[in-house]
Amino acid sequence: MRIVLTGGGTGGHIYPAVAVGKHMLQNDPDTKLLYIGTGKGMESKVVPEQGIPFEAIEITGFRRKLSFENVKTVIRFLKGAQRSKSLLREFKPDVVIGTGGYVCGPVVYAAAKLGIPTFIHEQNAIPGLTNQFLSRYADHVGVSFPESTSQFPRAKETSFTGNPCASHVLRAVPGRGLQSLGLAPSTRLALVVGGSRGARALNEAIIEMAPMLNHIGDAQIVFVTGEIYYESTKSRIAEEAPEALKKLTLVPYLHNMAEVLKDAALVVSRSGASSLAEITALGLPSILIPSPNVTNNHQEANARSLVSAGAAELLLEKDLSGAALLRLMEELLGDTVRMKAMSSSTTKLAVPDSANRIAAALMQMESKRR
């Protein structure tokens, strides 16, 4: 099968597309992949590192208020659609898969106009604008939350697939995450991560928390700062609380996130859909700190779906402080009964066969075309 993948802007859109592509390759080594993204987006770096051929188009997102920039965006959309048509005619895909972000718009739209079967995947509980727009053109919409199916009334076909990142993380080998960080196999690991780009508020909270880390017990905290915050966070902690670096491992980014998650006892995280898919797949207790700076506040909606099931604790960014985060981490790490109960509840929300569900939908679309 020849597959075009598209999605960009954040890791939450990129990694599900990569996970589907790699799953299809694993099932059939003759699968041919092409990823279409933007030249300036995160995908332009991540995708080639995964060994997937990459092509770029120029496109920007719409602004939510009246602006002359939106006129320019329409022009870029039309040019992007034309460029996409050229790439699609050259590659001749059997199916095009879009996972969200504004770059999906012209690519999936172009594919639909060329009569190429299209599949879009929505990761969040509240759908993004691009996927809502594309749902009227796509042949199939896959969603990560069962309640989201009703939010695509114009779609030809909708199904609950879960998030393919769940399938990907299950293949990680236990022990390799700790080894990659230079930690002993017996280490009790608490992983703190602020999303693929990091989060300023979380960095500030960890800096505030650093002098108090002697209260955290036997846990080792690994904090993924985000590349732009790494140097400043490391230098401030080294200056203000150097002893904390015995309990706190700082890294700018984790290329082997699945392996480190596999070895974690507790996760503190934003509540992007891909992160939650990985957390539920592994049955990890978590403290979720939704980003308030996302469309329709969808991360809080994502988080509350876990909290209501007893699978996670919620800490809103407006309530975030070093003391508040430390107190919650101490409570959970010191209560094994509670942690086991959260893990059990988390596992019940998992969709471990998500990639298989998407693969089945793609095969069905291809057979209909024939």
**217 in a known ligand binding site:** no
Q: Do 116 and 93 form a contact (C-beta atoms < 8 A)?
A: yes
CA distance linking residue 324 with residue 301, whole number of Å: 21
Give how far Cα 352 sits from Cα of 100, 177, 269, 285, 312, Å: 21, 20, 20, 17, 19
What is the spatial distance between Cα 362 and Cα 364, in angstroms, rounded to a whole number? 5
* DSSP secondary structure code for residue 294 in this structure: S
Within 10 angstroms of residue 344's Cβ, the number of other Cβ atoms is: 13
196 is in an annotated binding site: yes
Token representation of residue 275: 């992160």
Rounded to whole angstroms, what are the CA distances from 47 to 17, 37, 50, 84, 140? 10, 9, 5, 18, 24
What is the Cβ-side half-sphere exposure of residue 46, based on CA atoms within 13 angstroms? Answer: 28
Return the structure tokens found at 214: 């002697």
**195 known ligand binder:** no
Compute and round to an integer the Cα radius of gyration of the chain. 21
Ligand-binding annotation for 9, yes or no, is no
Angle (deg, nearest 10), helices 273-282 and 298-307: 20
Nearest to 210 by CA among 125, 80, 325: 325
42 and 77 Cβ atoms separated by less than 8 Å:
no
Tell me the helices (H) and strands (E) count for the chain, helix number first.
15, 13
Residue with tokens 């002893």: 243
* Count of other CB atoms within 10 angstroms of residue 370: 5
E strand map for 278-322: 286-288, 312-314
| Numbered residues of the known binding site for UDP-N-acetyl-alpha-D-glucosamine | 10-12, 124, 196, 299
| Numbered residues of the known binding site | 10-12, 124, 196, 299
